[in-house]
Each structure stands twice: as structure tokens, then as C-alpha cells.
Structure 1
Amino acid sequence: MTCSTREDRGVQDASDASDAPRPDTRVSGRRALITALALSTGTAALVGSEFVPAGVLPQMASDLRVTEGRAGLAVAATALAGAFTAPTIAALLPRAERRAVLLALLALATISNLVVVVAPGLPLVLLARVLLGVAIAGYWSFTFSIGVRVTGRPALVSTALALGTSAATIVGVPLASVLGDLVGWRAVFAIIAAVSVLSALVLRAVLPPVPALPGAGIEMMKQVLRSRLLMAGIVGVGLAALANFTAYPYIRLAIAEVAPASVAMILLAWGIGGLVGNLAGGYLSRWLRWATAAAPAILAASLFTVASAEHAVLLVLGTVAWGVGFNMIPVTTQLWVTAVEPHRAEAAVSLQVTAFQAAITVGAVLGGALVDGAGYLAALRLGAVAAVLAALVFIVLPVRPRID
């Protein structure tokens, strides 16, 4: 009881910081929900932009006259740029009004996608995708803190943002694949550019102006980097994200080995599990320490299950649990880092984003090497081991807000 009370207090502190915005920027009730959903449209547009190459990779590679492996660098370039951008962007914009920053980042994503539409070759595509990485990392670094300051409801904001991400990955990538066959891969990038513009218009209409936090910038980042508790938690975040991104690119191979006629349906089951995981992460955040540890534990069990499944029933159960476990992780870890650093949420979340983006890049390299050398099961098993380590990190670490 004492532990959960402390954790509740930590989550609450993330919305009760003394540097909260002026009263006229606060919203409540139904308006808070609308604001959180408006912010999530940006995450949907940006995450959809990040992973849309996965849905159109063959056409993209053929048109650009490169191998599919080289075309896949379009995702890696975005993740790598995001990993470098997330911890630095707040330092570069310490006093900028935050709504204007979000709108500018969505504009940058729009430009990136439009450049891809007209790019004659892979080098310009990769340059455009670097710009997208900047937009994604910046948006994720700022948006949670902004949402909490405006609504005062951390769990609502985190769940809404995660739902936007799920919508992009569950609906966006398969839809991009279908549209790529119908209208061409360049048209798909034009459509996602239009979605980014629409998101910016919604955000401008719903979100009030939000001033920068006092002390935001380099000094705030220095302070969070000195927090041993936070940095230990970031290691846990990185391990949890690495667990998924080492294994996820090969989920189709695992499904096809056991149930080749049901690949699409089982992938849809993963997506349904993901939606459940998003909602469960928000609900269980009242027991934050245990929810944050449970997410990678579920992921580990699911990866072991999928890797060892010989029958469709066990495969389906493992795949659904995979969706649940992984999609709990962004919600719970975002709440965890802001509970530990309630007055430095921007910097804390930027480090969480860095961990995720770095994990996408490193996971792609490790997973690819394992698949080429030992088969896809090795990638799934390594992911499971990393998830176990992440769970152990969060079981050991307390949720203790820093109040200095």
C-alpha cells in the first residue's frame, strides 16, 4: 500500500509542477480529452511517416533502383536522426512558445514527405528522412509535457499519444501497402504529407499557446543527466525497446512458419493486443512501478512463446501478448520518467525518446545480423532476454520523485 501511494504521488507530481502554465492555458473535462486526442493526431501522422516505407518498400526500391535492404535505410536514417535530436532540441529552443514549436515540427514533417515525393534518387530520400527524424524526436520530446501542463492528466495524455502511435502502425502501414499498389508509393507519401497538414490545423485550433518552462534548455538537461535513478530507468527503457525492435521485423517469418495461411489475421491480432496494451498501460499506471516492470515481462514471455510455438493456438496467444506487452511500454515508461523528474519532464521524456530511437537503429542491426547468421528464432530469443533484463531493472528501481 505504501509503495502504490508513493507511486500515485509521483505520477500526480508530474502534473502539479510549480512551473505549470498560466490558468488561462489550462483546460478540463471534455476539453482535456479533445486536447489529448488532438496531440495524438500529430503522433499518428509522424509515426505513420516514419514507418510508411515498410509498406511500400518493394515499389520504392524498384523505382529508386536500389536493393530493398538499401531502401530500408529510409527507416534507419529517421531513427538515427531522432536519437541525436531528442536530447538536444529543447536546449536549442529554450524559450520558444511550445505550440508554435509543435506546429513547426509538423510543417518540417510535411516538407520531408513532399521531398520524398519528388526525390530522383536514394540520397535525397535519406536527407528528407533525416528531417523527419528531427520532427519526430522534437514532437515526442515536447508533446507529453505540453499535454500534461494543459490538461493536468498524465495518464490520459500518455494513453492518447500511444493510441495515435498504434493507429499509425496498425492501420497506417497495411493501408500504405494497399495504396502503394493502387496509386504508387510516391502518392502514399503525398497523402501522409496531407495528413500532417491536417493534424497541424487541428492542433492550432484546439491547443492554447503554451510558454516554455522556466529553466528549459541545456541546464535542465544537465540536471536530469545527473539523476542516477532516471538514467538507470533510461537503460531499462532502452532494453525494453531493443527487445521489440530486434524481433518485430521478423514477426511475419515466425507466423508464416506455423500458420502461413493466416499471416494477415494474426498480424491483426497483434494490433488488437496493441490497443489493449495502450489502454492497460494508462489504467495500471496507478501502480506505476509494477506496471512498468510488467510490460517488458509480458513482452519477454510472448517472445519466448512465439519462438517456441508449434501450433497456431499458441502462436496466436503469444502474438496477442506481444502486442499487449510492447504497447504498454511507451505509456508506462513515459509516465515513469516524468514521475521521477516531475519538474523536468521535457528533458526526461527527450531521453526516453532517444532510447526508443536508438533501439530502433541498434535493433535493426542486431536482428539483421542474427537472422542472417542463425535464423529469425535467434532474433526473437535475444529480444526476450533483453525484455527480461528490462523487467528486472524496473522491479528494482523505485518511483521516487526528485523534488530539488
Structure 2
Amino acid sequence: MPFPLYLLALAVFAMGTSEFMLAGILPGIASDLDVSAGTAGTLTTAFAVGMTVGAPLTAGLARNRPGRSSLLGSLLVFSAAHAVGATTSSFPVLFASRVAAALANAGFLAVALTTAAALVSPDKKGRALAVLLSGTTTATIAGVPAGSALGTLLGWRATFWAVAACCLPAAVGILAGVPAHRVRQEAADGPALRSELAQLTRPRLLLVMLLGALVNAATFAGFTFLAPVVTGAAGLSELWVSVVLVLFGTGAFAGVAVAGRLSDQRPGAVLAVGGPLLLIGWPALAALADRPVALLLLVCVQGALSFAVGSTLITRVLYEAAGAPTMAGSYATAALNTGAAVGPLVAAATLGSAVGDRGPFWSSGLLVAVALLIAFALRTVIAADRSAEALR
């Protein structure tokens, strides 16, 4: 894989740490800013909404700009937003800073996904995406648990400062290693923006975007509220939250690594095996959350399955949007973060119910079930699109 991919993955590591870190520091934010855990959880939704809206918007605005400058500018704005978040004592300001960070992250990731696909041959998009997403999975293994531990020892603001600082070496790496003009060349030589947007009328593209959103919603529904389960139902201390996050991240890393080698040529096999197992795993995690050993094991398994199935679906978005070379990354980003916005809202609604802290896991299972039902009901759409492609 080209070296610039790994530089992009470094930046994705910093951004992934930010996106997932609230799972470990949510109780501290809620306590310090005098809001409920459910209200604090809307910070995840704010970030995801900003990503969903920002991805196509920023990708469209940046399509005629050099890729390196777009990536660098987005990363610096992202760092500045975290500095603001670290210094505020107002929840609305923190909320706004998360939206600003999300817009910057959306611009970065939309261009980075397109860059990753452009730097490799057309049949290796899945492997390129796996390298890029390794930044996110490494964040869940190292960055998020470290941020959780840092938040426990020094307060949640220290975690925000750490993310802001991590962006700076990534910015230097992008400036030094990413080509200045190659990434945006397809905007001049490729189809017009209107033609790229017209790709969104393709049924199979919309279907894989919807399925990717639902699976990611399930992932964020369960992941965002892991900390209350660890310290509540499982009865473990706060420092165990970091251990649980490491296990989830380790599973996620393994899932992306395996799916990255299969999603180009055998995506159906990944989805056919991983989908049903993912459906079984979330209710099992809810039922066994009060048993620490089972909790630790299942968190790792669900991390692997969630990212294997999710990354495969997002890879399919890039393939289905091949006719939109500069916007495909934004479609994938929008699908991911629509799910990330919806998932925590669905999960938060269950916290006050009879199932309590385990509610988010039950909601994750429900979201995966909906995805599988839609995939089954609309299987003829996939078959019809494939037949049409065979005739072209």
C-alpha cells in the first residue's frame, strides 16, 4: 500500500480517538457540566450530525481544490475545535465545538476516502479502506482507552487537549507526504458535480448506504454507553472502562483486517456470516452484562463483527459510487455518520426504561435486525442491478 495512506491513517487515528472517546469520559462530562448522562450522550449525536451534513457539503466545495490543502485545513480546524471544547464550562459551547469538529472531520474523511481509493488500483479499494480505517481501530485500541484513563486521572478536559495535540504531527505528515495535486485531478478530468450527485438515484447505492448506516447505528448505540454498563451492571471500577474499550478496539482492528482482505472479492460471504452473528451478539451482551467475564469476551467479539460488517458495507458504497470519483467518499462518510447520529439517540431513549443500563445493547440488536430484514426484503434490487450491469 502507498505510504501516504499510512499518513492519512495517522490523522484518522486522532479523529477516531475524538469520535469514540466520549464512551470513556461521558460520566465525567455529565457530572462536571451538570447534565444527565443521556444529555451528555447527545454530544455523540452532535458529532455524527455534523459529519453527515458536512461530508457531501465539504466534498463538493473542495472538489476543485488541491487535496493536500483540503486535508490540512480540515485537520487544523479539528484541532482548534478541541482546544475550545477543553476550555469551556458551558454545555452548549461544548456541543457547538463538537459540531465544528465534526464538520472538519467530515471534510477530512470525505477527501481521505476518495484519496485512498485514488492511490490504489480499482480492485483494491477494500484493502485501501482497511488501511485508512486502521487509524480508527487503533484509536479504539490505544487512543480511546488512553483518553479514558487520562480523563479518569486528570479530568475529561485533558483528553480533549490530548486530541488537539495529536493532530499536529499528523498535519506535518500530510504536508510532507500527501501529493499536492494528484488527489483533486479527477475533479477536472471526471464527471460534473451534477452527474456525481445523480449517482444517488441508483437503488443499490442507496441500499448499501442504508444498510451501512443501520449497522453503524447499532455499533454506536452499544459503544457510546459502555461505561455505564461496566460500572453499573457489571459492577466494575472506572479503570475497567479502559480495559473494555481496549477489548472492543482489538476486536474492531481484527474485524477490519479480515474484512479488508475479503470485501473486494467476497463481500457476500462477510455479510452472510457476520450479519446473523452480529444480530445474536448484541442481545447476548445485554443478557450477560452482569457477568464480567462474559462481558469482556462479548465486547471483543462484537467489536470484530461490527467493524467487519460495517467496513464491508462502506467499501461497497465506494464501489457502487464509482461513477462519482470525487463524491464517493462523502457518500460513505454520510452513511457511516447517519448511523452514528441515530444510534446514540435510540440507545439513550432506553436508559430510563425497565432494562436500564443494558437498554443500548438491546437497541443495537434491534437495529441490526432491521438491517437484515431490509436486506432480505430488497434482495431483488441487488439482483436486478447486477443483471443490468451484466448487460452493459
* Secondary structure of 2:257 counterpart: helix
* Secondary structure of 1:343 counterpart: coil
Q: Pick one of 47, 62, 66 that aligns with 1:93.
A: 62
Query: 1:302 — aligned with what?
Result: 281
Query: 1:208 — aligned with what?
Result: 179
Describe the shift of the 1:54–1:256 C-alpha distance in structure 2 as closer, same or farther (beyond 3 A).
closer
Query: 1:382 — aligned with what?
Result: 363
Describe the shift of the 1:312–1:195 C-alpha distance in structure 2 as closer, same or farther (beyond 3 A).
closer
- Residue 241 in structure 1 maps to residue 216 in structure 2: yes
Determine if contact 1:95/1:216 at 8 Å carries over to the other structure.
Answer: no
Describe the shift of the 1:246–1:186 C-alpha distance in structure 2 as closer, same or farther (beyond 3 A).
closer
Aligned residues: 373
In 2, Cα distance between equivalents of 1:83 and 1:162: 18
- 1:314-367 CA distance string (max 9 Å, x none): 545433321111111342122211222223244333223222222222221211
Query: 1:9 — aligned with what?
Result: none
Offset, 1:132: 0.6
In 2, Cα distance between equivalents of 1:125 and 1:297: 38
In 1, Cα distance between equivalents of 2:38 and 2:229: 20
Amino acid at match of 2:199: V
In 1, Cα distance between equivalents of 2:130 and 2:93: 35
Query: 2:201 — aligned with what?
Result: 226
Offset, 1:221: 4.2
Describe the shift of the 1:56–1:41 C-alpha distance in structure 2 as closer, same or farther (beyond 3 A).
same
Offset, 1:246: 2.5
Amino acid at match of 1:299: L
Percent sequence identity is 25
In 2, Cα distance between equivalents of 1:216 and 1:64: 48
Which deviates more from structure 2 when the two are superposed, residues 308-317 or residues 197-206?
308-317
Which deviates more from structure 2 when the two are superposed, residues 186-195 or residues 104-113?
186-195
Q: Pick one of 162, 167, 170 that aligns with 1:191.
A: 162
Query: Under a length normalisation based on structure 1, what TM-score does the superposition of the two structures give?
Result: 0.82
Q: Pick one of 332, 336, 342 that aligns with 2:312.
A: 332
In 2, Cα distance between equivalents of 1:288 and 1:40: 23
Amino acid at match of 1:37: Y
- Residue 151 in structure 1 maps to residue 130 in structure 2: no
- 1:37-70 CA distance string (max 9 Å, x none): 1111111111212333443334444444544444
- Residue 139 in structure 1 maps to residue 108 in structure 2: yes
The 5 A counterparts of 1:54-65 are 54-65=23-34
Amino acid at match of 1:306: L
Describe the shift of the 1:343–1:323 C-alpha distance in structure 2 as closer, same or farther (beyond 3 A).
same
Determine if contact 2:75/2:167 at 8 Å carries over to the other structure.
Answer: yes
Unmatched 5+ stretches in structure 1 = 1-31
Amino acid at match of 2:184: P
Amino acid at match of 1:381: W
* Secondary structure of 1:248 counterpart: helix
In 1, Cα distance between equivalents of 2:331 and 2:284: 31
Amino acid at match of 1:188: T
Q: Pick one of 5, 11, 19 that aligns with 1:50.
A: 19
Q: Pick one of 171, 180, 183 that aligns with 2:151.
A: 180
Determine if contact 2:24/2:144 at 8 Å carries over to the other structure.
Answer: yes
The 5 A counterparts of 1:363-374 are 363-374=343-354
The 5 A counterparts of 1:244-323 are 244-252=219-227, 260-261=235-236, 264=241, 265-285=243-263, 286-309=265-288, 315-323=295-303
In 2, Cα distance between equivalents of 1:251 and 1:181: 15
Determine if contact 2:318/2:332 at 8 Å carries over to the other structure.
Answer: no
Offset, 1:95: 0.8
Query: Under a length normalisation based on structure 2, what TM-score does the superposition of the two structures give?
Result: 0.84
